[in-house]
Amino acid sequence: MARRNSKSTGHSRAHVEDVVIPELEAMLSSYKSRGRVNWTDHERAVLRKYWGRVPAGAIAKQLNKTISAVRNQVQYLKLKVGDNRE
C-alpha cells in the first residue's frame, strides 16, 4: 500500500475509477458495441460436428461469428481436422 507524504500539497488524489482517458473510452465503447458473447454449448457442438467437413467461413456464417472467432474456438477446444465429436 502506498504511503502518503506527510506534507500536504493541497491536491487530492484521483481514484482509479475516476480517471478518464478519452482514447481508451472510445476503444472500449466500440469493443462493447461489438456484442461480444460467450459460446453456447449448442454452438460448440455444431463446431465440433462440422469442423474439418465444412469450410470455416460457412460455419462462421451459420453461427453468426467471425472466422477468427471460429478459429480461436477451434484452438481452445483443441480440435483437429477429422475430429467428429458428436
User: In the prediction, which pLDDT does 11 show?
Assistant: 61
Asked whether residue 47 is assigned to any structural domain, the reply reads: yes
Query: Cα separation of 22 and 79, whole Å?
Result: 40
Per the model's pLDDT, the better-predicted residue between 8 and 53 turns out to be 53
User: In the prediction, which pLDDT does 6 show?
Assistant: 52
Count: domains in the chain: 1
Q: Which domain holds residue 43?
A: 39-77
Asked whether residue 71 is assigned to any structural domain, the reply reads: yes
Q: What is the pLDDT of residues 15-74, one digit of tens each?
A: 766 777 777 776 666 555 456 679 999 999 999 999 999 999 999 999 999 999 999 999
Asked whether residue 6 is assigned to any structural domain, the reply reads: no
Asked whether residue 66 is assigned to any structural domain, the reply reads: yes
Asked whether residue 72 is assigned to any structural domain, the reply reads: yes
Mean pLDDT lowest among 10-19, 64-73, 77-86? 10-19
Asked whether residue 85 is assigned to any structural domain, the reply reads: no
User: In the prediction, which pLDDT does 8 show?
Assistant: 55
